[in-house]
Structure 1
Amino acid sequence: MARIGVLSVSDGRGHVHERNAAFIQSKLDALVSALTRAGHQVVTGAAPLSDNALAVSVPREIAAAGVDVTVFHYPVWSFPHFSVLAADATPGPLVLLASTDPTEPGLVGMLAAGGALDQIGRAHVRLWGAPDDGEVIARIGVLATAAGAVAGLRGATFGRFGGRPMGMNTAVANTDQWMRQFGIDVEEIDQYELVSRAADSAHAAEARQAREWIEAHAAGVHYDGRKLTPELLERQLRSYLAIRDIIAERNLDFSGIKGQPELTERFATMDVTEAFLNDPYDWNGPKPVHVTATEADMDGALTMQLMHRLSGDPVLFADVRHYHADRDIWDLCNSGQHATWYAARSADPKENLRHVNFYPEVFFFPAGGASVQHVAAPGEMTLGRLTRHNGEYRLQLMLGTFENYDEQTTAELVRQSTPEWPHAFARLDVPAETFLSRFGANHIHAVPGDLRPELRAAAELLGIRLEEWTRG
């Protein structure tokens, strides 16, 4: 959950503030209690802002505590210039919250402060209601979660293994723009580094252990003696171990691997590597998700990292492969990293892996290796992507559901595209004509649940245009 700063703003007249102090404290206590019950960590001001000095010192203390968002709380009439001073001392996202208790003019105080902040161009969100109002608490939580995710992007490093894949312009972003707009640095890493390290015999024992773990728990490992052999699967696993080492050495926060065509034609595909990097576990047990985009898709990785920071879950990466118009469903299918977690979305890797098959790679990839095949488990999903239009970022966003079908129907559907690859059958809350006419990439990303409120807030904090689609 989020880390939220809360300070109360009061009247600058000493005798009025003294008269209101107990009332302010009672409302503050109720607000803090409600936020804490919702799972947030709350940092409160040492005292209400009742003079110019406190209007600077108290907010600075809250800002120094590293909060995700600061709430200016207005239970009573308050001097507006206290809020202006406090806003200058708290550079992060700001919420003005007015008490609607009619015995005191809290709404008046918020409106006066909000107008003053408007005049100086200080962005803020205005809320009003009882301090324990569930809707108010939820909206503060959404903004704080979004603010924490956005702040977490700044100072991050993206590891870009290889360059532009197969002429795919949408996979390449301007590194200057990333630093300016998101605070993210890009570390360029040649794919030879991966190949060289994967050949290191130091990883041989663990790669063998990993192969045996997969063989023991997967639905099947379908060796064919040519495109998929135990040796090729171990090569893919050594690639995972090599990238894991590079991530630790270079302090990478998220990554992308070009793969095509060099690795897929002369070494091995990165499907297994990417799947387990995105998973919250491997054969050693639970581990942090390391968001990794196939085809070194920078904007795809950025979307995934934002969604992951908002939800804590692995994020799906897929091509928009096919639209089944007769069923109004989309086949989201890509040879890259559908994390195995999506097979059942279980905390138990064995439960997920029993739905996962490792098939020999198809003709696209002569170097061979295993593709990580499964059908994503059903449920409500938020889908979207950060895309660019004329050099400016936009967030294209929609809600949908993943669906599962009977065995015969599933087999018929997967056979129509590439059965050896992972599939997610999605019903999107957007007309096909709208989606196909306007979506700005071939890759799409998804995360469980309805994350649209948090993503809307994140887009606003990032200064990114929101393009949200529904059937309405």
Structure 2
Amino acid sequence: MNAKVGLITFGDHREDMWQKVFGESTMKYHGEIIECLKQLDIDLKFYQDAARTREQINEQADGLIAQGVDILIGHTPCWTSPNLVVQGVQRVGKATVMIGNRDMSTHGCVGLLGACGALSQIGYDHKRMRLDYDAEVFKKKLIPYFTALKVKAELAKSVFGLFGGRSIGIDTATFDPMGWRKQFGIDSEHIDQSEILMRAKKVDPDRIQKMIQWIHTNAKEVIYSEKLTKEKFEFQIGCYLATKDICKEMGLDFIAIKCMPDLSTYAVPQCMTATFMADTYDGEEGQKESIPMACEADADGALTQEILKIISGGTPTFFADVSHIDDDQKIIYCVNCGGICAHYADRSCDACQNLNCMTIKQSIRPGGGAISCFTAKEGPMQLARLYRVDGQYKMAILPCEAIRPTEEMVDAFIKARGIHQLPVLYAKMTCEVEDFINEYGSNHISGVAGEYTDQLVAVCQALGIEPVVFK
């Protein structure tokens, strides 16, 4: 993550108390906190001395500002005058975490509470922590908080693109643009879906053929048919490239596309866009930026993915329906109607290997075209979802494990659903199914490879969202 973090250790300005009581222990713990912080994945900026006087505090604060710190750690290992701490914190003017210790001999508790109480009096937002000087403790407590601050900052400069309006009556996919602006700082652009179709017709054919050739070379199989003709497939790839162009031109960081029923009926479904947009590689550019995408105009689903992308350091994100839950085995069948991010076919750093596990086959939608069909590879999975209850945001946080289904599971699913199978991830949950059903607020779910429960809880706290952890 490499957040740029500044440290000021505050000391008692009274010379006699510094020399006789607090100086030695303050400098001891100043050295220890530096060693702990150096072991974290941050860019640490600090001074060798504690800041005791107004002049010293101002000098260190100004130095940290000049070095461009994003976050301030105010360290009060012993007693220090609260007004001087407030002066230093306000002068830096960044997101702040105040750290004290649990050593009975240091007067650290009274120093921490005196400084934090003064900050609270003036309404200066800050985080308080009393920690033992241990790198693992610091990592567990601080990194989720630093991650939350990073997410908050990144969202505040992001732009969401919504293509089309509400899809097939899914109310939970709708959003309030100005509500987002107020709570998260996110700007939004509304683009008509016809823009995709018009732009797709003008995409350079060489770009389309480059993508088509890459898919043909690496996919497990491409099965053309009456409703999946080469021309339809080329147009779908043109839609993907056109959408990618629009995102670049408009500076869109994450998107949602209505698709159904308009495009999937009268043009082509946007399943190839869903397959490649959130990935970090495609056959045209090679390595590229991931742009999280949600189907069926699901704004909250797309925003959840954007948060997961930032938390995970840019890992491709996942979007699907909560299509079925096996109550006995506690397995969610996460199915998409035609496109899940290609990364999850094999979770490989080699995008070609991911395509090796994918079959391109016909969509059942009236418009025809292709879907990307695979069973997602097993591994740790962080599922999550923003949803609203009486207008207030909550986030469902569901750590789970993607599993490889047994033949019996697949056979039963085909028997129940028919031979037309779709991309699917089987997620083994640990919470009680009824608890999930009674609370969860959408038919869609988002996710990312890995496990980020603590970070998501911290993000919720930073953004004014109620976290709901299903464990």
What's the TM-score, normalizing by structure 1? Answer: 0.92
Specify the alignment match of 2:366 in structure 1.
366
Question: What is aligned with 1:293?
Answer: 294
Runs (5+) with no aligned partner, structure 2: none
Measured in 2, the distance between the counterparts of 1:420 and 1:89 equals 60
**Residues of 1 paired with 2:100 and 2:375: CA distance?**
48
SS at match of 2:13: coil
Name the residue aligned to 2:244.
244
In the aligned structure 1, how far is the partner of 2:463 from the partner of 2:18?
38
SS in 1 for 2:417: coil
Post-superposition Cα deviations, 1:196-227, rounded to whole Å, max 9, x if no partner, equal 11001x42112112112111111111111x22
Query: Cα deviations across residues 223-248 of structure 1 (Å, max 9, x unaligned)?
Result: 11x22122211111111111111111
Aligned pairs for 1:396-407 (under 5 A) are 396-407=396-407
Give me the whole-angstrom Cα distance separating, in 2, the residues matched to 1:300 and 1:68.
Answer: 28
Q: Give the secondary structure class of the aligned counterpart of 2:323.
A: strand
Q: Does 1:153 align with 2:146?
A: no
Q: Give SS of 1:115's match.
A: helix
- Taking the aligned partners of 1:151 and 1:337, their CA distance within structure 2 comes to 30
Structure 2: distance between partners of 1:261 and 1:108: 63
Is residue 360–residue 420 contact of structure 1 (8 Å, CA) maintained in 2?
A: no
How many Å separate the matches in 2 of 1:172 and 1:63?
40
> Which residue matches 1:116?
118
Which contiguous aligned blocks of 4+ residues in structure 1 show a shift greater than 6 angstroms? none
Is the alpha carbon distance of 1:203 and 1:412 closer, same or farther for their aligned partners in structure 2, counting shifts above 3 Å?
Answer: farther
Q: For the structure 1 residues 415 and 271, does the alpha-carbon distance in structure 2 shift closer, same or farther, using more than 3 Å as the test?
A: farther
Q: Which is further off, 413-422 or 146-155?
A: 413-422
Change (3 A) 1:435 1:101: closer
Distance in 1 separating the partners of 2:369 and 2:438: 35
Shift in CA distance, 355/333, structure 1 to aligned 2, threshold 3 Å: same
Partner of 2:387: 387
Specify the code of the residue in structure 1 equivalent to 2:311.
Answer: L
The 2-side partners of 1:267 and 1:325 are apart by 38
User: How far off its partner does 1:306 sit?
Assistant: 0.5
Correspondence list, 1:312-391, <5 A: 312=313, 313-362=315-364, 365-391=365-391
Q: Deviations over 1:138-159 (max 9, x none)?
A: 3111210111011100021111
In 2, the alpha carbon distance for the partners of 1:263 and 1:129 equals: 55
Rounded Cα–Cα distance in structure 1 between residues aligned with 2:407 and 2:280: 28
What does 1:270-289 align with in structure 2 at a 5 Å threshold?
Answer: 270-283=270-283, 284-289=285-290
Aligned counterpart, 1:234:
234
Q: Could you tell me which amino acid in structure 2 is paired with residue 3 of structure 1? A: K
Residue 105 of structure 1 is matched in structure 2 by 107
Structure 2 SS opposite 1:112: helix
Task: Determine if the alignment matches structure 1 residue 442 to structure 2 residue 414.
Answer: no
Aligned partner of 1:231: which letter?
E
**SS of residue in 2 equivalent to 1:149:** helix
SS where residue 204 of structure 2 aligns? helix
Q: Whole-Å Cα distance in 1 between the matches of residues 341 and 39 of structure 2?
A: 33
Name the amino acid aligned to 2:442.
A
1:266 maps to what in 2?
266
Match of 1:182 among 175, 181, 184: 184
1:194 match: 196
Residue deviations 1:357-408 (CA, integer Å, cap 9, x gap):
111001xx21111111111111222222111111111112222111103445
Kept in 2, the 8 Å contact 1:68–1:145? The answer is no
TM-score, length of structure 2 as denominator length: 0.92
User: Residue type of the partner of 2:120?
Assistant: D
Correspondence for 2:82 among 71, 76, 80: 80
2:9 aligns to what?
Answer: 8
Shift of 1:77: 1.7
Gaps of 5+ in 1: none
**Deviation, structure 1 residue 64:** 6.2
Secondary structure of residue in 1 paired with 2:277:
helix
Mapped to 1, the partners of 2:414 and 2:6 lie a distance apart of: 50
Once the two structures are superposed, residues 342-362 of structure 1 have per-residue CA deviations (whole angstroms, 9 ceiling, x without a partner) of: 111110112211111111001
CA RMSD of aligned residues (A): 2.3
Q: How far, CA to CA, are the matches of 1:64 and 1:258 in structure 2?
A: 46
Residue 16 of structure 1 deviates from its aligned partner by 4.4
- Could you tell me how far 1:38 is from its partner in structure 2? 2.4
Change (3 A) 1:90 1:374: farther
Change (3 A) 1:325 1:339: same
Residue 328 of structure 1, CA deviation? 2.5
Measure the CA separation in 2 of the matches of 1:369 and 1:133. Answer: 53
